[in-house]
């Protein structure tokens, strides 16, 4: 007997129910001559569960599978049923090629099931009962059954869908679904008497920009999201041996049917992380796409301390969460770049004595202090130990914005040098921009709870001070 992939999700959470329309969708699908797999039938049963009033038990459903397992076939079955039952459907994808393929898939399914695609009818000609019209314009595809069921296929934008109303919203390639897109699309099903939204995709990869899918997963699995359901196939921990075929069968329900071990073996390359995510369904605990890519930051690292010139500039940041305070320095190099280094990051509860000692002991030209929960106190403490007021900067909002912008530009211009400190690298390479004000200003926030953004902030503030002060005569620095 052919070995089959695991037909049950490795992790799921659905609400209890007694009735489902999933079997109806599977029966319709059977008209095409195709047969739904066990895992697809089970998933559809949960997706299409209804309560005593005939309303969807799960108003939102998310599911994640490794690639090439047939997750989109589940969507097509659900859409086929929706068209047959007069639903208005909006199918969105990250790429136009993907939404176009989804349209092709549903058209083919209708044709296989005996539906006739209509051209122009003659006067007084009655269309066949099982018939449909379709718009084939690339990027604006649509399907309309003669019973009133419709499906539109679009690429997602931050404004697409506004003003339109649907019963079923499909979020394909959900790992790319952003908060801006969600704020637009959430309301397209609000007027429906029985709305449903389905998100399907894979775990986020190194180039994924969406956060909605991951946030949804976390909330549902934690039991904090009412009326919604989730299912996934994936490993719980990053595996040591990606060639362990038992993991392949655990996480790929279609292995042994539409997938083979030989095909999966051919996918293994040098990028182990990509294989773990896309073939083994592993969810990293953070969004892998940082606004500052790790590769770009590491490309500016140096193995040895470069020759430095001029005085040091320090940046101090008190975290907004009242947890940590960090100190970093910036100094010019004789080659014209700016060398940055994080000195330390400690709990605010330890006090400021370590900061004062360090700043007093170094040849500091300017120290920039940010963070309302500590900057005034440190300012007064530094004055009391002899640091001149002209050497201390408490940045205003526009100056903070300039510092972040200058930091971004320095990265773009390859003007930063550093020694690849692990904590600093993790902070910089796991960040996202956050808007400040209404004129395009920005700062940075952490993508996850394990990396402290204050490290990035201190480096940016120190670099800003170093960049805005014109260098005097060369003076070599050693510390």
- Chain segment 16-33, per-residue pLDDT in tens: 999 999 999 999 999 999
Taking 80 as the threshold, does the pLDDT of residue 156 lie above it? yes
Q: Quick one: pLDDT band at residue 470, thresholds 50, 70, 90?
A: low
Residue 114 lies in a domain: yes
pTM (two decimals): 0.65
Can you name the residues that pair with 117 across neighbouring β-strands?
132
Residue 175 lies in a domain: yes
- The number of folded domains in the chain is 2
Give yes or no: residues 260 and 303 share one domain.
no
Residue 348 lies in a domain: yes
Task: State the average pLDDT over residues 346-351.
Answer: 91
Give yes or no: residues 256 and 306 share one domain.
no
Can you name the residues that pair with 443 across neighbouring β-strands?
434
Compute φ and ψ for 36, nearest 5 degrees.
-70, 140
Domain that holds residue 71: 11-278
Q: Quick one: pLDDT band at residue 206, thresholds 50, 70, 90?
A: low
Residue 474 lies in a domain: no
| C-alpha pair distances (Å), 9 with each of 1, 172, 239 | 22, 19, 18
Give yes or no: residues 74 and 144 share one domain.
yes
Kindly report which listed range (238-247, 360-369, 463-472) carries the lowest average pLDDT score. Answer: 463-472
Give yes or no: residues 230 and 320 share one domain.
no
User: Tens digit of pLDDT for each residue in 214-244?
Assistant: 889 989 998 888 889 999 999 998 898 999 9
Residue 39 lies in a domain: yes
Kindly report which listed range (237-241, 297-301, 351-355, 393-397) carries the lowest average pLDDT score. Answer: 237-241
Average pLDDT, the chain: 90
What pLDDT, on a 0 to 100 scale, did the predictor assign at position 38? 97
Give yes or no: residues 311 and 243 share one domain.
no
Task: State the average pLDDT over residues 159-181.
Answer: 85
Taking 60 as the threshold, does the pLDDT of residue 286 lie above it? no
Strands 324-333 and 338-347: antiparallel
Q: Which residues, including other chains, have CB under 8 Å from residue 393's CB and lie 6 or more apart?
A: 366, 367, 368, 369, 399, 465
3-state secondary structure the chain: CCCCCCCCCCEEECCCCCEECHHHHHHHHHCCCCCCCHHHHHHHHHHCEECCCCCECCCEEEEECCCCCCHHHHHHHHHHHHHHCCCEEEEEECCHHHHHHHHHHHHHHHHHCCCEECCCCCCCCCCCCCEEEEECCCCCCEEEECCCCEEEEEECCCCCCCCCCCCEEEECCHHHCCHHHHHHHHHHHCCCCCCEEEEEECCCCCCCCCCHHHHHHHHHHCCCCCCEEEEECCCCCCCCCCCCHHHHHHHCCCECCCECHHHHHHHCCCCHHHHHHHCCCCCCCCCCCCCCCHHHHHHCECCCCCCEEEEEEEEEEECCCCCEEEEEEEEEECCCCEEEEEEEEEEHHHCCHHHHHHHHHCCEEEEEEECCCCHHHHHHHHHHCCCCHHHEECCCHHHHHHHHHHHHHHHHCCCEEECCCHHHHHHHCCEEEEEECCCCEEEEEECCCCCCCHHHHHHHHHHHHHHHCCCCCCCECCC
User: Tens digit of pLDDT for each residue in 103-123?
Assistant: 999 999 999 999 998 876 566
Residue 475 lies in a domain: no
Task: State the average pLDDT over residues 167-180.
Answer: 93
Task: State the average pLDDT over residues 137-155.
Answer: 93
Residue at a domain's end among 220, 254, 278:
278
Taking 60 as the threshold, does the pLDDT of residue 477 lie above it? no
Strands 308-318 and 364-370: parallel
Give yes or no: residues 340 and 435 share one domain.
yes
For position 93, which CATH number holds? 3.40.50.300
Give yes or no: residues 180 and 305 share one domain.
no
């Amino acid at each position: 007997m052919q070995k089959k992939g695991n037909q049950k999700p490795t992790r799921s959470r659905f609400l209890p129910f007694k009735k489902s329309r999933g079997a109806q969708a599977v029966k319709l699908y059977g008209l095409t001559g195709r047969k739904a797999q066990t895992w697809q039938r089970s998933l559809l049963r949960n997706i299409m569960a209804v309560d005593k009033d005939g309303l969807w038990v799960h108003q939102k459903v998310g599911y994640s599978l490794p690639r090439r397992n047939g997750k989109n076939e589940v969507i097509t079955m659900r859409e086929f049923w929706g068209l047959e039952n007069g639903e208005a459907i909006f199918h969105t994808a990250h790429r136009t090629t993907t939404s176009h393929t989804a349209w092709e898939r549903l058209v083919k399914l209708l044709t296989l099931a005996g539906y006739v695609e209509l051209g122009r009818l003659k006067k007084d000609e009655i269309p066949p009962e099982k018939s449909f019209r379709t718009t084939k314009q690339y990027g604006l595809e649509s399907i309309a059954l003669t019973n009133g069921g419709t499906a539109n296929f679009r690429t997602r934008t931050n404004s697409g869908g506004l003003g339109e109303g649907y019963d079923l919203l499909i979020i394909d390639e959900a790992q790319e679904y952003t908060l801006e897109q969600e704020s637009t699309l959430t309301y397209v099903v609000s007027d429906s008497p029985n709305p449903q939204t389905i998100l399907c995709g894979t775990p986020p990869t190194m180039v994924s920009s969406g956060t909605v899918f991951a946030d949804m997963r976390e909330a549902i699995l934690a039991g904090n999201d009412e009326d919604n359901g989730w299912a996934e196939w994936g490993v719980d921990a990053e595996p040591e041996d990606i060639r362990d075929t038992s993991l392949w069968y655990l996480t790929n329900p279609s292995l042994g049917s539409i997938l083979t071990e030989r095909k999966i073996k051919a996918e293994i390359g040098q990028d182990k992380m990509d294989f773990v995510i896309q073939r083994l369904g592993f969810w990293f605990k953070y969004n892998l796409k940082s606004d500052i890519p790790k590769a770009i930051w590491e490309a500016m690292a140096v193995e040895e301390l470069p020759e430095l010139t001029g005085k040091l500039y320090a940046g101090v940041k008190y975290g907004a969460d009242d947890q940590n305070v960090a100190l970093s320095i910036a100094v010019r190099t004789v080659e014209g770049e700016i060398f940055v280094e994080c000195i330390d990051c400690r709990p605010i509860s330890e006090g400021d004595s370590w900061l004062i000692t360090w700043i007093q002991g170094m040849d500091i030209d300017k120290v920039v202090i940010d963070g309302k929960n500590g900057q005034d106190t440190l300012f007064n403490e530094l004055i009391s130990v002899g640091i001149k007021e002209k050497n201390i900067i408490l940045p205003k909002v526009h100056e903070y914005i300039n510092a972040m912008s200058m930091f971004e530009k320095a990265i773009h211009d390859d003007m930063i040098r550093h020694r690849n400190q692990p904590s600093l690298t993790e902070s910089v390479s796991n960040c996202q921009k956050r808007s400040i004000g209404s004129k395009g200003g920005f700062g940075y926030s952490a993508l996850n709870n394990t990396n402290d953004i204050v490290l990035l902030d201190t480096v940016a503030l120190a670099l800003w001070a170093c960049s805005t002060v014109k260098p005097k005569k060369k003076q070599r620095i050693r510390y």
